[in-house]
């Protein structure tokens, strides 16, 4: 999962430019017909996929596409649901609906629902290339600012220390040269990021989500509290709110804006899984799964990985952080055992800190502020260095 949008490469079609990376999903008859209509010099601009009416869009193609043409049957609820899933997964990507017998009213309804434009079926190559020209201009405007890397830090279970990892990792990223790192605390019920930094931000992530269409870069920047120790924080609310009330589209829009306003975004997530938490993880550049060293912790971690696999989050984008790691001579479970058990790379092991870490957090401080030479701090700094190198 690339943390940055692919560069806009363009070819010329009678004096206009179109996206190189456009993917078309339609039934076999329409794909075969369009394949025969595309001029050779423009064939590289369009990738064609044969797809059954209820078949899902390929996740890899969805991640790579700069523009997407999708066959839609307005009479089929599963077809409309597929279009909605694509739009939610890539809210800023131009989506062109390919429809038979589309009239003005239907086109207007689809555009209101977030579709960029409509083309007729069977395909007319001139109409297709014209729509791609318009989509190219929109994509270029939306991509003027590259999206920053966004990493979800996920606890395999409660109390494994994911929030501790997030707070210290953000500060370590700042020390590693990330100029503007922002933590978004999405634990709407028990978020503790602000407490760990000893701050009281006036605005929470919930207020940003409730802003709806009014949410923009200015509003988000004003809500991001400067901790004075490197990272910014968009905090969780101070009161408990139902998790199911979060709008997925609004959340993805918030995260998209955060990635444009900051140089690095870290997400702290609740322990309970919902559609919107999965959507946030799926939109991330990388997922760090924080687990313990015990068999019980590893069983929980394996269940999380199975969940990621079920929603087709790539294996290459998920790695493991073993927290409170002990290197004892007779230790039964080592880092290699964790990798074999979970079939994921162990990105880091973080040394156990029995006293200093709790003391620091109780005072609203980070561990390096009370114990500069702690092994945990060195491990976090090493992980930050790896992330800044791998996600550039």
pLDDT tens per residue, range 352-367 = 887 677 777 777 778 8
Average pLDDT, integer, range 203-232: 90
User: Does residue 209 carry a pLDDT above 50?
Assistant: yes
Residue 184 is classified by DSSP as E
SS3 of the chain: helix, strand, coil, percent, to 5: 45, 20, 35
Does residue 312 come out as left (phi exceeding 0), alpha (psi in the -120 to 50 range) or beta? left
Q: Write the CA distances from 335 to 141, 168, 292, 385, integer angstroms.
A: 45, 21, 11, 20
Give the residue ranges of DSSP H helices in 283-366: 295-310, 335-342, 356-362
In this predicted model, which residue has the larger pLDDT, 179 or 360? Answer: 179
Residue owning tokens 């555009």: 111
Per-chain mean pLDDT for the chain: 84
CB 383 within 8 A of CB 169: yes
The pLDDT of residue 183 is 97
Determine the Cα–Cα distance for residues 150 and 147; give it in Å rounded to an integer.
9
Total residues found in the chain within this entry: 392
Domain ranges of the chain: 10-142, 150-390
Asked if 10-142 and 150-390 have one fold, the answer is: yes
Dig out the tokens for 387 from the structure: 């992330």
The pLDDT of residue 43 is 65
Which residues have C-beta within 8 Å of that of residue 192, sequence separation ≥ 6?
Answer: 163, 185, 236
CB 325 within 8 A of CB 351: yes
In this predicted model, which residue has the larger pLDDT, 362 or 204? Answer: 204
Provide the whole-model pTM. 0.66
In CATH, the number for domain 10-142 is 3.40.50.2300
Of 78-87, 225-234, 281-290, 356-365, give the lowest mean pLDDT range. Answer: 356-365
CB 162 within 8 A of CB 154: yes
SS3 322: strand
**Nearest 10 degrees: Cα torsion 246, 249, 254, 257:** 180
Which tens digit of pLDDT belongs to each residue from 118-162?
A: 999 999 888 888 888 888 777 766 655 578 999 999 998 888 889
Q: How many C-beta atoms lie closer than 10 Å to residue 60's C-beta? A: 12
The pLDDT of residue 141 is 64
Dig out the tokens for 194 from the structure: 């602000």
Determine the Cα–Cα distance for residues 282 and 278; give it in Å rounded to an integer.
6
The pLDDT of residue 9 is 39
User: Does residue 371 carry a pLDDT above 80?
Assistant: no
In CATH, the number for domain 150-390 is 3.40.50.300
Which residues have C-beta within 8 Å of that of residue 239, sequence separation ≥ 6?
Answer: none
């Amino acid at each position: 999962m690339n943390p940055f949008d692919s560069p806009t490469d363009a070819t010329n079609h009678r004096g206009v430019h179109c996206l190189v990376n456009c993917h078309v999903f339609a039934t076999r008859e329409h794909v075969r017909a369009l394949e025969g209509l595309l001029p050779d010099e423009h064939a590289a601009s369009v990738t064609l996929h044969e797809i059954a009416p209820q078949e899902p869009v390929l996740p890899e193609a969805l991640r790579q596409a700069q523009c997407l043409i999708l066959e839609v049957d307005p009479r089929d609820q599963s077809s409309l649901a597929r279009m909605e899933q694509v739009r939610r997964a890539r809210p800023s990507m131009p989506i062109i609906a390919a429809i038979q017998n589309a009239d003005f009213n239907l086109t207007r309804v689809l555009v209101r629902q977030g579709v960029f434009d409509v083309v007729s079926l069977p395909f007319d190559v001139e109409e297709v290339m014209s729509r791609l020209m318009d989509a190219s201009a929109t994509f270029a405007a939306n991509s003027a600012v590259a999206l920053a890397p966004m990493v979800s830090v996920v606890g395999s279970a409660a109390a494994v220390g994911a929030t501790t990892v997030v707070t210290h990792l953000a500060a370590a990223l700042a020390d590693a040269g990330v100029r503007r790192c922002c933590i978004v605390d999405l634990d709407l019920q028990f978020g503790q990021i602000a407490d760990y930094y000893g701050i009281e931000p006036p605005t929470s992530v919930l207020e940003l989500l409730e802003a709806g269409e009014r949410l923009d870069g200015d509003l988000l920047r004003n809500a991001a509290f400067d901790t004075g120790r490197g990272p910014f924080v968009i905090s969780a609310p101070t009161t408990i709110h139902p998790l199911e009330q979060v709008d997925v589209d609004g959340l993805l829009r918030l995260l998209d804006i955060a990635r444009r306003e900051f140089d690095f975004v870290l997400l702290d997530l609740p322990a309970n899984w919902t559609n919107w938490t999965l959507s946030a993880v799926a939109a991330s550049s990388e997922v760090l799964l924080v687990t313990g060293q015990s068999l019980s912790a590893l069983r929980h971690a394996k269940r999380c990985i199975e969940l990621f696999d079920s929603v087709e989050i790539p294996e290459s984008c998920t790695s493991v952080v073993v927290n409170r790691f002990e290197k004892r001579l007779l230790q039964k479970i080592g880092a290699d055992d964790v990798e074999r058990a979970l079939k994921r790379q162990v990105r880091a092991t973080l040394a156990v800190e029995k006293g200093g870490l709790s003391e620091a957090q109780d005072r609203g401080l980070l561990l390096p502020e009370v114990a500069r030479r702690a092994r945990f701090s060195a491990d976090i700094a090493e992980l930050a260095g790896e992330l800044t190198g791998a996600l550039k």
